[in-house]
Structure 1
Amino acid sequence: MTTNAFRFLVLGGTGSIGYAFTQELLQHQEHVTLLVRDKQKADNLFGQHPTLHLVEGDAQDGELLKRLGAEATHIFHGVNYPYEQWQNNMERVTQNVTAAAAINKSTIFFPGNIYNFGQIDVITEKTPPKPGTKKGAIRVKLEQMLQGAAEQGKCRVINLRMPDFWGPNVMNEGIAPIFKGALAGKPMPWLIRNDIPHQLVYTPDAARVFYRLAKLTPQEPYAVYNFAGEVVPSIKQWQAQIAAAAGTPPKYRLYPGWLFKLMGLFSPSMREISEMGYLWQNTILLNDDKLRQALPDLRLTPMKRAIADTLEWFKENVQ
């Protein structure tokens, strides 16, 4: 069922969460404008849809974003950069997003994460930020920018905080090599510890949550929800499930923390990963009771089906 009054502008639609959200919108025949830097890549990912409009450009182009924002009721802020490019880029693009949303008093969807809180056991929506890293401090600043714009009446914001995510078209170096390794019968990598519980969100589930929150009557200008997804007993056990579904024997590769510190002496990206090492050394859990109260009938995709669908996507789309 389409909601004709809705017009979605999606930024970062060829990335992990943005791809899943765009697919969710298209399944509901919603009108979607996708701002992409590579139109050919978007064509390959989405094909032709009567309610999809592709625009080639960059979210750093504030005037372009305002023109597109003038037609939107909802803006999905899925723009992301490699870790070493976060400084300035993430703040500037977020400023552009809030300026574009202000034209129509649109709702901004923001995929949040857990970097704001540093090393902690459990995170609720009321947990005060306490970043222990540069990227955590940037995330706090981005949320403050969004909250400020919402509280000034320029827009509404739904910030959905999530742990590590995985699924079709999740091509980051933490997740993609696991599925590629399983399909090829090669080692599936992970960082530092693969023997402790770890929280994961399947991106199509996150997309469904965002879409359902869009249809709720907003109660507050800046709404924060945690989405906990699923806690696997260990990454090693989860990888074994993936290998079994791929029909290959499980093989593991664990990269120690000291390796990233060493490589960080020569590589900015490795240095940035090393700084985030606490995320793989500890079990950090989001509590999503608030979301469950808002969406009491929310159901997650069964793990077996989610793994099968993700493997199928990688088989068809990644050489």
Structure 2
Amino acid sequence: MQTILGAGGTIGIPLAKELLTYTDKVRLVSRKPEKVNPSDELFPADLTDAGQVERAVAGSEVVYLVAGLAYKASVWQEQWPRLMRNVIDACKKHGAKLVFFDNVYMYDPSHMHHMTEETPINPISKKGEVRARIAQMLLDEVSQGNLTALIARAADFIGPSDKSVLVETVGNNLRKGKKAMWFASADKIHSFTFTPEAAKATALLGNTPDAYNQVWHLPTSHKQLTGRDWVKLFAEELHKEPRLTVLPKWMIGMLGLFMPIMREFREMLYQYDRDYFFDSSKFEKRFGYVPVAPEEAVKAVMSAGS
């Protein structure tokens, strides 16, 4: 049995499909799980409840934690540590391996121009502090020999079923005849991980015994595209003019007074005012893998939404 905690989301759905390559027993766990494959086992559970998590993990060989919480620092601070502790304890009790799908919020901003698995941990945002804390919880258990686990990290998302900032503010805006929107600076490099590829790689890592007890960057194109380059790619795919508006930091601060999501997003703007390059060479060399090109990712996203 391989179990997905937080099934049904951007990564959970394609991950469920990919796991059929390795097992015919997939359990989907969320508050209201829905089948992805006909053979899926559904297990409704609240991941912040230790008892429910323990029962959801029982009988699992591999557990994938791909849950997402409301994009709000206070929610993350309250719920993520508890959720991670519940999952770690359940995996330890039942002898399950743990695969944690993570992001890059905990990395030192001064090293974002070239992020690898060795990039220093030094978050400057509240959300980054939470991600650093829960990742360390897992790594501490691994170092103490209490848990077999790995961390799979992705850059910002681009994907056909994704509601990411990139898809919403660039792709969908251009499709509607509006200007694409970027933040802080459109002339800085920004990597994006293709979500179907991230799911495929996560399943592969979870079923590769020697991949455990370490951190992996999921496959992401090495093409160093700026915000302006991304807008051009989407515009070309849609046969539109690459019209673009760049929102300065002060304007996002003003929008935050009226839009809660912008208020939460403001602390992450440092990811847009400098180069953000995500290096997945470790994965590529280990598995002989070539990531999907940005052009193909954009084509998949726009075709799915047409």
TM-score, scaled to structure 2: 0.88
Matched, 1:263 2:251: no
Change over 3 Å in CA distance of 1:182–1:266 after alignment to 2? closer
The DSSP-based 3-state class of the residue aligned with 2:28 is strand
Matched, 1:53 2:45: no
What is the CA distance between 1:236 and its match in structure 2?
Answer: 2.1
Change over 3 Å in CA distance of 1:29–1:252 after alignment to 2? farther
Matched, 1:155 2:143: no
Which residue, out of 272, 283, 299, partners 2:290?
A: 299
Change over 3 Å in CA distance of 1:92–1:213 after alignment to 2? same
Q: d(CA) in 1 for partners of 2:299 and 2:143? A: 43
Q: d(CA) in 1 for partners of 2:166 and 2:76? A: 18
Are the equivalent residues in 1 in contact too, given 2:30–2:46 (CA < 8 A)? yes
Matched, 1:80 2:99: no
Which residue, out of 101, 110, 113, partners 2:91?
A: 101
Deviations 1:73-123 (A, max 9, x none): 111111122133211111111111111211222221112222212312323
Are the equivalent residues in 1 in contact too, given 2:4–2:28 (CA < 8 A)? yes
Unaligned residue ranges in structure 2 (runs of 5+): none
How do 1:213-292 residues align onto structure 2 when only pairs under 5 Å count? 213-218=205-210, 222-227=213-218, 229-230=220-221, 231-265=223-257, 269-292=261-284
Change over 3 Å in CA distance of 1:257–1:27 after alignment to 2? farther
Are the equivalent residues in 1 in contact too, given 2:62–2:97 (CA < 8 A)? yes
Q: Which deviates further from its counterpart, 263-272 or 177-186?
A: 263-272
Are the equivalent residues in 2 in contact too, given 1:75–1:107 (CA < 8 A)? yes
Percent identity, please: 24
Q: d(CA) in 1 for partners of 2:23 and 2:302? A: 26
The DSSP-based 3-state class of the residue aligned with 2:149 is strand
1:211 is matched with 203
What is the CA distance between 1:141 and its match in structure 2?
Answer: 0.5
Are the equivalent residues in 1 in contact too, given 2:2–2:23 (CA < 8 A)? no
Q: Name whichever structure is richer in strand by fraction.
A: 1
Q: Which deviates further from its counterpart, 92-101 or 120-129?
A: 120-129
Letter in 2 for 1:108: L
Change over 3 Å in CA distance of 1:80–1:247 after alignment to 2? same
TM-score, scaled to structure 1: 0.85
Matched, 1:187 2:179: yes
Are the equivalent residues in 2 in contact too, given 1:108–1:158 (CA < 8 A)? yes
How do 1:109-120 residues align onto structure 2 when only pairs under 5 Å count? 109-119=99-109, 120=111
Q: d(CA) in 2 for partners of 1:243 and 1:37? A: 38
Unaligned residue ranges in structure 1 (runs of 5+): 1-6
Letter in 1 for 2:197: D
What is the CA distance between 1:287 and its match in structure 2?
Answer: 3.2
Q: Which deviates further from its counterpart, 171-180 or 81-90?
A: 171-180
Are the equivalent residues in 1 in contact too, given 2:3–2:62 (CA < 8 A)? yes
What is the CA distance between 1:28 and its match in structure 2?
Answer: 5.6
1:3 is matched with none
Q: d(CA) in 2 for partners of 1:304 and 1:123? A: 22
Letter in 2 for 1:111: F
Q: d(CA) in 2 for partners of 1:79 and 1:256? A: 31
Change over 3 Å in CA distance of 1:67–1:117 after alignment to 2? same
Are the equivalent residues in 2 in contact too, given 1:228–1:286 (CA < 8 A)? no
- Aligned CA RMSD, in angstroms, stands at 2.3
The DSSP-based 3-state class of the residue aligned with 1:158 is strand
Deviations 1:49-86 (A, max 9, x none): 23312223321122121112112111111112213321
What is the CA distance between 1:267 and its match in structure 2?
Answer: 5.4
Change over 3 Å in CA distance of 1:270–1:186 after alignment to 2? closer
Change over 3 Å in CA distance of 1:146–1:130 after alignment to 2? same
